Amino acid sequence: MYTTSTPNASRTDPGKGGLLARLAAIVGARRVLTAAADTAPFLTDHRGRYNGRALAVVQPTTSAEVAAVVSVCAEAGVAMVPQGGNTGLCGGATPLPDGGSVVINLTRLARIRALDTANETICVEAGCKLVAVREAAAAAGRLFPLSLAAGGSCEIGGNLSTNAGGVQVLRYGNMRDLTLGLEVVLPDGRIWHGLRGLRKDNTGYDLKQLFIGAEGTLGIITAAVLKLFPAPVSRATAWASVSSPAAAVSLLARFRAACGDRVTAFELASRPMLELVLKHMPRCRDPLPAPAAWSVLVELTDTAPDAPLIAMLERTLTAANDAGEVGEAALAATLAQAESLWALRENANEAQKREGFSIKHDIAVPVSRLPEFLARADAALRAWCPDVRLVTFGHIGDGNLHYNLFPPRIGDDDAFAARGREANRIVYDLVDELGGSISAEHGLGQLKREEIRRYKDAVELEAMAAIKRAFDPRGLMNPGKVLCSLHSDQ
């Protein structure tokens, strides 16, 4: 049933020149890129791990143009790869090396179509950068809560296609929770007009949830209606050392009991993560006087200007200190100090990139089982490679850890990378045993399309395959991602 062949491997050549001419007639010749220098930025993933080839990179400006481009490609039997800001970490927006696809880059679909403060919604196009949506919401006195380190370059279409999470999932949820309606171009070029701003709509299947997290394999999201929230005006932020991951989980429960939904973010950071940030980001400073094996970053927010958040933060940390869960803590007294604490967390990915190659894991387990996962995974990996450098951080409030492995010495990248499959098996088998997921918020892309077959139930895989066949029977939409090709005749 599953093969790794590409959708157009055995089809008749549709005639490249004729196809490009038809695409140029839709979007303009300047927006059909074919020269190597022009297409190069669109053919490599953010980490530089995947390099593909394409017939062309097409840059439509409207949903109607996207639909027309898809219609032409579908008629010609040419595969399509939707792409946004190209900040993904699993190769989901990178074309395959066969060179037989068209990359449809959505960056020019960047309009904010509507903002409805009474309905607390904003309607935006897929190419809108996340930061632009957040700024538009803030200008209206509202909050769009998705917050990612790549917010200045990632785009809403990609956020939707990977069901992005970020640091405020604990309070507001991920993109599935933040989306009310979608506009989607289907694989045959038809447009599904599902831009509804309704919180209640029980009129059949909730189709939007099929496209969110599908990484462009079922259609191309061109616009979305997103939820807004009242903008917080009070904030309290602290960085605190904890005795162990188990203590961090206990501290989270303590904060939620004492502060309720005011707990907006609760992040865990290991000492190796912090040391990489301090090493590679010169403006960052250690907020505590003595090194700690584990730390948490906690933030409380409220819409009331006089909310006693600092007092609540101090009182909860004091109680935790008395219980032996918390050691030293640094509380931000100003916005600048809060931003400096957040910089330690937000620069984690960039610091790792500067350090060099790593084997990355974006995993989720139930919050209650995080301490067990870390204890067992750390022990198993040190048995596998005694000097492995483990860099752990993540959104402990929702059970999502970024659990990354660096080689013992800088420069050992090739030998370490060659053992990546062994490391993945150790980590993913344990995640599966603990009832977790091998991809919490980065998606599957090309990176995990084979791995997922080991951990998904056969019935679930078949259901996913059936959905793929129903929407995209010819396998033209973002082939080679999420699932292997389902067409044995290709």
Instruction: For tokens 């894991």, name the residue.
Output: 361
Strands 191-194 and 263-270: unpaired
Tell me which DSSP letter residue 29 carries: G
- In the chain, CATH 3.30.70.2740 covers 356-444
Could you write out the DSSP letters of every residue in 54-113?
-SEEE--SSHHHHHHHHHHHHHHT-EEEEESS---SSSTTSPPTT--EEEEE-TT---EE
- Predicted TM-score (pTM) of the model is 0.91
The pLDDT of residue 17 is 82
Q: Any alpha helices (H) in 78-227, and if so which ranges?
A: 130-139, 156-161, 169-172, 175-178, 208-211
Beta bridge partners, 283, equal: none
Tell me which DSSP letter residue 25 carries: H
Q: Any alpha helices (H) in 347-419, and if so which ranges?
A: 348-355, 370-384, 413-417
Token pair in block for residue 96: 């395959």
Instruction: For tokens 């203590």, name the residue.
Output: 247
Q: Contact, 178 vs 121, CB < 8 A? A: no
Token pair in block for residue 447: 């990176």
Strands 79-83 and 101-105: parallel
The pLDDT of residue 178 is 98
CATH architecture under which domain 234-349 falls: 2-Layer Sandwich (3.30)
| pLDDT tens, the chain, 490 aa long | 333 334 443 343 547 889 999 999 999 999 999 999 999 999 998 878 889 999 999 999 999 999 999 999 999 999 999 999 998 888 889 999 999 999 999 999 999 999 999 999 999 999 999 999 999 999 999 999 999 888 889 999 999 999 999 899 999 999 999 999 999 999 999 999 999 999 999 999 999 999 999 999 999 999 999 999 999 999 999 999 999 999 999 999 999 999 999 999 999 999 999 999 999 999 999 999 999 999 999 999 999 999 999 999 999 999 999 999 999 999 999 999 999 999 999 999 999 999 999 999 999 999 999 999 999 999 999 999 999 999 999 999 999 999 999 999 888 889 999 999 999 999 999 999 999 999 999 989 998 999 999 999 999 999 999 999 999 999 999 999 998 654 433 3
The pLDDT of residue 485 is 55
Return d(Cα 476, Cα 70) in angstroms, integer.
10
SS3 409: coil
- In the chain, CATH 3.30.70.2190 covers 234-349
Q: E-strand spans in 259-397?
A: 263-270, 294-302, 326-331, 362-364, 389-395
The pLDDT of residue 484 is 66
Q: Contact, 164 vs 149, CB < 8 A? A: no
- In the chain, CATH 3.30.465.10 covers 112-230
Q: What class has domain 356-444?
A: alpha beta
Q: What class has domain 112-230?
A: alpha beta
